[in-house]
């Protein structure tokens, strides 16, 4: 059994908490809500939350206009992939996303035994997520 869905929103990494116990990124909570909502709408009533699962996530980021000249050609600041520090480490992006899926598509993120994740530029910020039972 497999489910695929799109999440529209700004992917946010779940990192360390600050000295007051709050998330280091203000965007983590809204991202988790977006992921949970998209997953709940994608899954059918017969979805089983038990057992091992494989997860494939493509995180999508809006490419900055500064990457292009006024004529639409790549500028000197152009990069093929979103590798800037402000995009978040891929492992921390996965952490926030898998935590959001817990309780919706699986009971615990320890059930994820296979994970593919990538970051890319896109016209819409968000993620494409595919999950299947093994």
Terminal Cα distance for the chain, rounded: 9
47-98 confidence digits (pLDDT tens): 999 999 999 999 999 887 776 677 777 676 777 777 776 667 899 999 999 9
Q: What is the pLDDT of residues 5-59, one digit of tens each?
A: 999 999 999 876 555 556 567 789 999 999 999 999 999 889 999 999 999 999 9
| Sheet strands side by side (includes 112-122) | 2-8, 126-133, 53-62, 112-122
What structural domains does the chain harbor? 2-133 (3.30.1330.70)
- Model confidence, pTM: 0.86
């Amino acid at each position: 059994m497999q489910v695929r869905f799109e999440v529209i929103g700004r992917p946010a990494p779940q990192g360390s908490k600050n000295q007051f116990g709050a998330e280091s990124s203000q965007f983590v909570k809204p991202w988790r809500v977006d992921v949970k909502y998209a997953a709940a709408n994608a899954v059918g009533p017969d979805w089983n939350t038990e057992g091992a699962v494989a997860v494939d996530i493509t995180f999508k980021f809006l490419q900055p206009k500064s990457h292009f000249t006024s004529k639409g050609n790549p500028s000197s600041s152009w990069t093929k992939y979103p590798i800037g520090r402000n995009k978040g480490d891929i492992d921390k992006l996965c952490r926030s996303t898998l935590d959001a899926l817990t309780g919706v598509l699986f009971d615990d993120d320890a059930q994820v035994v296979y994970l593919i994740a990538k970051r890319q530029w896109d016209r819409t910020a968000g993620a494409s997520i595919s999950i299947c039972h093994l």
